[in-house]
Structure 1
Amino acid sequence: MLLQAGPELTPEIAVVFAIVAAAVMLFVSEVIPSDVTALSVLVSLVVFREYTGVDAEAALSGFASTATITILAMYILSAGVRRTGVVSRLERVVAAYAGDSRQRLLGATIGITGPLAGVVNNTPVVALFIPMITDLADRTHTSPSKFLIPLSYAAMLGGTLTLIGTSTNLLASSVAADLGVAGTPFSMFQFTPLGVLVFAVGSVYLLTVSPALLPSRIEPHDLTEEFGLGGRLARVYVPESSSLIGLTPAQVRTDAIKPLQLVRGEETFVAAGSDRTIEAGDVLTIRAETPVAQSIAEVAGLRRLPQAKVTEEELALGSGRGTLAEVIVPGGSGLIGQAIGDARLEERFDATVLAARRGGELVVEDVADEILSEGGGLLIYATQSGIEHLEETGELLVTETVGDGFPEPEPIDWREAGLAVGIVLGVIAVAATDLLAISVAALGGVVAMVVGGVIDPERAYAAVEWNVIFLLAGVIPLGLAMDRTGAAAYLAAHVTDVSTALPTLATVALFYLLTGLLANLITPVASVALVLPIAVSTAADLGASAFAFVLAVTFAGSTAFMTPMGYQTNLMVYSPGGYRFTDYVRVGAPLQLLLAVVTTLGIEVIWGV
């Protein structure tokens, strides 16, 4: 049976496509921030409302959409749970498994997130895991950008495992049942075999291919950079002609130059307190201003190693060989009011003070003259035993160490922790049983956390990534314009026309690709609602299985990888990962094409088309 000719390209459709093209160019080029681009789209739709069909009320509807409100609330719920310390306990378990292995950490991220997102809506899963994965990335000295897109993608893949994995699954099940498709509405595990296949293939891709494609947009957290020591740490080589041979590091030390490490072959020693004498062939790590380092190298016959950048990873070599730590001066400390030089930390604890911080002010020059005050921070370098001895005195409190695993976690208030976790589980249960929409349930959870004292309003507002909220709210009206002008139907009709000349399996794949494309532009829910009726109609015209077409559309709507606004979890990791629009295309496009093949073949093998 021949299909009727599709809609013509009208001026209204042309204008919408022009706005889409301009938006994509701005997103890719990042000439202006992505959230500003999204707001520009919103304004453009209203300016050209005679063509787009989007008035001011419709344009602002993105700020009240379910997706926008849900993401906003999930940021706050995640912050509330994190404040209780529960997530830090899970961090320790994952860290113990991963160790210093980036590949193991990536495997744990995917292996935990995916299955969990199959039974819990993937949005709160990602909200809870973002801060944990960021912390663990810091501890493996890896950019969080290497993990956060895989975190989002793994949650999306896990959402295909069961009916309740994503709201898209639930919508597709409802729409298909309304259309009278045999086999719908879906049962809880009806498409789990296909979901397992998709998750397995996607996981292999994320573990093997994505690390090479993902950039390091955010540099790993480094205490040396945080305390303004860039350019003030250097390495020098000791040749046979150097005048330092035979001296100890303590004899070399002056107010202007502080030896930190003595590297001899495969061994590294903490310079402070060491009685080893300097030998030819040694490498010294020193703390000094660049001109001073250059001057001492010339005077003492040393050779500066300009390419050897000194980071916290090189300084923090573990127990017995040196640890970098941030400490603060607690109230009641006997050091308050003393100058750092007078506190004799090097003599008492073999600890070298590298920099100091008071509020937002950094002190990196004349550190010895800085007066210690309550709440002031110090960056020190010492042996692990020295740091432990220092902490035992109670005069300084260690807040962060590098190279010696996790500090002992703070005691958990289990009443507060139970309340926070219970609120999140309650939100999930209420949404899963359709008692309330997930956006309303999530807002109710926020109210419960604030009233219950888990999080105060100020911290709740601070927990929200507002640029993400404006980005999503700005692009949602674009979906309305594509729907109202017939632009989306124009694309769908042309796919339908092409399908008459293709094998049935290829047509299923084509609908997968169409749904995925639209999901990346106008949200998964909108794309499924738009394409599903067309797919069912096409299946009837071809005499094919409508159930197969429904599955293809459902899975494509749940796996929109190519844009940050393609799925709400993509948006949630956008800011923490420091990503650009093109990062999603680079990593997501190959995965989406791969899963188009895997999903359609899986449908053919398991159910037939």
Structure 2
Amino acid sequence: MTLAQIATLAVLIGVVAALASERLRADLVTLVGAGLLCLLGIARTSDIQAGFASPAIIALASLFVLVEALHVSGAIGLLFRLAEGAVNRMGKRALPLLIGVAGALSAFLNNTPLVLLGTSVLQQTADRRGWDVRPLLIPLSYATILGGTCTLIGSSTNLLVDEMVRKAGLHGFGLFEMAGVGLSMALVGAPYLALVAPRLLRGAGRDGALEQEIARDMLPLHPVRAFVTLAVLTMVIGGAVGGLPIAVAAFVGAIVLIAARVLSPEEAYGATNPRLLVMIAGMLVIGGAIDRTGLGALAASLLSNVTERFGPRTALAIIYVATLILTEFMSHAGAAVLLTPIAIGIAQDLGLDPRPFTVAVMMAASASFLTPFGYQTNTIVYQAGGYRYGDFVKAGLPLTLLTATAALIAIPRFFPF
């Protein structure tokens, strides 16, 4: 190993350890890591600028604005009110419908506001009817995670992997290109979330723990604003399907919404989730250093030597499981940035198409079902429901096994080696 590789590895280990400890803010950790690499001369100032100005960051910030517009216009609230009305008429039988609405919307919208609003609706409904809400909140989070795997804009992880694939000089992904794999995971996960997970979560929660009320109001419908917002969202999706870069389509859409006064500039700025964006920008700088120093290629070479004798499916499974484990201990964005260059390197060393391996990183980095901290929506319901750590293992382990099996079968079918 070269001196630059050793230094990069040391910084990487420090960043992973700090993220896994959860004692420090993730955005500060990645910024410190990026700064150290810059001081060591491994990362350049232009790399830091490129990280913050990357298309993934622009697309994510713009999509956050689009979701906020749907909220303030009352469009999302209308859908949840319709689902809540079905619950009032049909009782508990309609609860999977409410969770399903959140899951379906998450294919196109950011998960966090959907889970906040869905949690608020479930808590209010459960309070009125005397139901225990705890069997429902974890499935709500899991449903939005699965929905987000179905499109390129459904998850920040998907956008991040696509960004790194393009930087590696490979062809990027289309808006619905991963839908076959994502839907395969969702189809095996949906019956489990509707029928099995709530039973496993009966009596869940910490002894004496109080549920934390989540305040996310369903705003009244403003027909004109809602129409404009839906028209802009349709334009963004249509542009992306037609080949327009998602960053461009989403950015223009966000500007149109502000210009049309669907939401104010202050509301738009407040919706952008700067902590997540800064954390991702920092990880992009670290990922670039891994690639530039050849550390990723070295790791890929070592792994490809091990997997070569077992075939591409074994290599795919190793990448998937490695990403899955790393996601639970740091973050989905961090795992995606670290494993994508290695996945590409393994595929190239084995003479295979890198796309199935990068899709494996996409899916596994999103499939955080075992801990409350691997995905932001898990943290929201963990606090709201007063869950124990083990409740996520109890409900998440079967889902992890089901979705991993579905993904490893579906990926080679939709993305041949």
Larger relative contact order, structure 1 or 2 (CA cutoff 8 Å, min sep 6): 2
- Correspondent of 1:499 among 279, 287, 307: 307
Residue matched to 1:88: 77
**Structure 2 counterpart of 1:133, from 118, 121, 130:** 118
Aligned partner of 1:18 in structure 2 is: 10
Residue 150 (structure 1) aligned to one of 142, 156, 164: 142
- How big is each residue's C-alpha offset from its partner over 1:500-524, in whole Å with a ceiling of 9 and x where there is no partner? 3325532342344456678846564
SS of structure 2 residue aligned to 1:558: helix
Are 2:185 and 1:198 equivalent residues in the alignment? yes
Give the counterpart of 1:444 among 227, 252, 266.
252
Q: How does 1:50-199 map to 2 (within 5 A)?
A: 50=41, 53-99=42-88, 105=95, 107-108=96-97, 111-115=100-104, 122=107, 124=109, 126=111, 129-139=114-124, 140=126, 142=133, 146=138, 149-159=141-151, 195-199=182-186
Q: Which residue does 1:455 correspond to in 2?
A: 263
Selected match of 1:418 from 223, 227, 252: 227
Shift of 1:199: 2.0
SS of residue matched to 1:560: helix
Query: Structure 1 pair 413/109, CA: closer, same or farther in 2 (3 Å)?
Result: closer
What does residue 363 of structure 2 align with?
A: 558
User: Contact conserved, 1:109 with 1:151, CA < 8 A, in 2?
Assistant: no
Structure 1 residues 312-391: aligned runs within 5 Å: none
Structure 1: gaps spanning 5 or more residues: 1-7, 180-184, 227-399, 401-405, 541-545
2:174 and 2:23 map into 1 onto residues whose CA distance is 47
Q: Tell me the distance in 1 between the aligned counterparts of 2:4 and 2:265.
A: 44
Structure 2 CA distance for partners of 1:137 and 1:41, relative to 1, 3 Å: farther
Q: Secondary structure of the equivalent of 2:233? A: helix
- Conserved 8 A contact 1:465-1:575: no
Q: Partners of 1:172 and 1:40 in 2: how far apart?
A: 21
Partner of 1:531: 343
Distance of 1:108 and 1:153 partners within structure 2: 16
In the superposition, the TM-score normalised over structure 1's length comes to: 0.52
Once the 2 structures are TM-superposed, how far is the Cα of residue 91 of structure 1 from its aligned partner? Answer: 1.1
CA contact 1:76–1:463 (8 Å) conserved in 2: yes
Pair 1:429-2:238 in alignment: yes
Instruction: Kindly tell me the number of residue pairs found equivalent between the two proteins.
Output: 389
Task: Say if 1:473 and 1:447 are closer, same or farther in 2 by CA, change over 3 A.
Answer: same
Pair 1:465 & 2:270 matched: no
Asked if 1:484 corresponds to 2:292, the answer is: yes
SS of alignment partner, residue 455 of structure 1:
coil
**Cα offset for 1:457?**
1.4
Which amino acid is 2:58 matched to?
Answer: I
Q: 5+ residue gaps in structure 2?
A: 128-132
CA distance in 2, matches of 1:576, 1:73: 25
Say which structure is richer in strand: 1
Give the root-mean-square deviation of aligned CA atoms.
Answer: 4.8
Amino acid at match of 2:227: G
In the aligned structure 2, how far is the partner of 1:92 from the partner of 1:20? 46
1:479–1:132 CA distance, 2 compared to 1 (3 A): same
Residues 516 and 557 in structure 1, CA contact (< 8 A), matched pair in contact too = no
- The SS at the match of 1:32 is coil
Cα distance in 2 for partners of 1:427, 1:189 equals 13
Shift of 1:602: 4.6
When you count helix as a share of all residues, which structure comes out higher?
A: 2
Tell me which residue corresponds to 2:130. Answer: none
Q: Helix, strand or coil for the counterpart of 2:364? A: coil
- Listed one character per residue, the Cα deviations across residues 566-609 of structure 1 (whole Å, up to 9, x for unaligned) are xxx94587679769xx99x9687875565444333456789997
Q: Deviations over 1:245-290 (max 9, x none)?
A: xxxxxxxxxxxxxxxxxxxxxxxxxxxxxxxxxxxxxxxxxxxxxx
Distance in 1 of aligned mates of 2:176 and 2:267: 39
CA distance in 1, matches of 2:102, 2:163: 23
